[in-house]
Each structure stands twice: as structure tokens, then as C-alpha cells.
Amino acid sequence: MGDTMNTLHDFMLRTEGLTYILIVAALCGFVFFWRFLSERDDDRDYLGADRPEGHHH
């Protein structure tokens, strides 16, 4: 049966392999998620602009 793990090698192969796949998928997913979050951020005065220079010392 494919789910059987008899050795530490089986366990590591399964868990590490899946982890690497998840990490790659997550990194790709984050790109789209960032675009989803930021694509309407053109209103710099409201969201992104900092205070004018000299406002703080």
C-alpha cells in the first residue's frame, strides 16, 4: 500500500517532498496574492504617501 512508511527514509521522503512542493506552491501563490492585495493601491495620498518632510523632527 502506498501509504505505508517502514523506514525513517520513507518518512523523510514523504514529509520533506511534500514540504518542498508546498513551499514552491506557496511562493507562487504569494505573487498572485500580493497582486490581489495591491492592484488598487494607486491612491498614494490615502494609503502609501508619507507625511511631508519636516513634519517631524
Partner 1 sequence: MPVPKIAIQKPALTPFNVVAGIIVVVGLIITVIRFTQGLGATTNLSDYNPWGIWIGFDLLVGVALAAGGYVTSAACYIFGLKRFHSAVRPAILTGFLGYALVVLALHYDVGRPWRLPYPFIVQSGTTSLLFEVAACVALYLSVLFIEFTPAALEWLGLKRARSIVVKLTLVLTIFGVVLSTLHQSSLGALFLIAPSKLHPLWYSPYLALYFFVSSIVAGLSMVIFEGSLAHKHFHNKMDAEHLREADGVALSFAKAASWVLAGYFIIKVIGIAQTNAWSHLGSGYGLWFLVEMVGFVMLPCYFYAIGAREKNLTIIRRTAAWTVLGIVVNRFNVGLVAFNYHLPSSERYFPHWMEIGISVFVVTIGILAYKFIVTHMPILYAHPDYDAH
Q: Assess 26 for contact with partner 1 (CB under 8 A).
A: yes
| Binding-site member from 1, 2, 40, 42 for partner 1 (CB under 8 A) | 40
Spatial distance between the Cα atoms of 27 and 16, rounded to a whole number of angstroms = 16
- Grid cell at residue 48: 502609501
Residue 15 CB, nearest approach to partner 1 (Å): 5
Residue that the C-alpha cell 505573487 belongs to? 31
Task: Name the residue among 46, 29, 45, 49 with its Cα closest to residue 37.
Answer: 29
Binding site for partner 1 (CB under 8 A): 11, 14-15, 18-19, 22-23, 26, 30, 33-34, 36-40, 43, 46-47, 49-51, 55-57
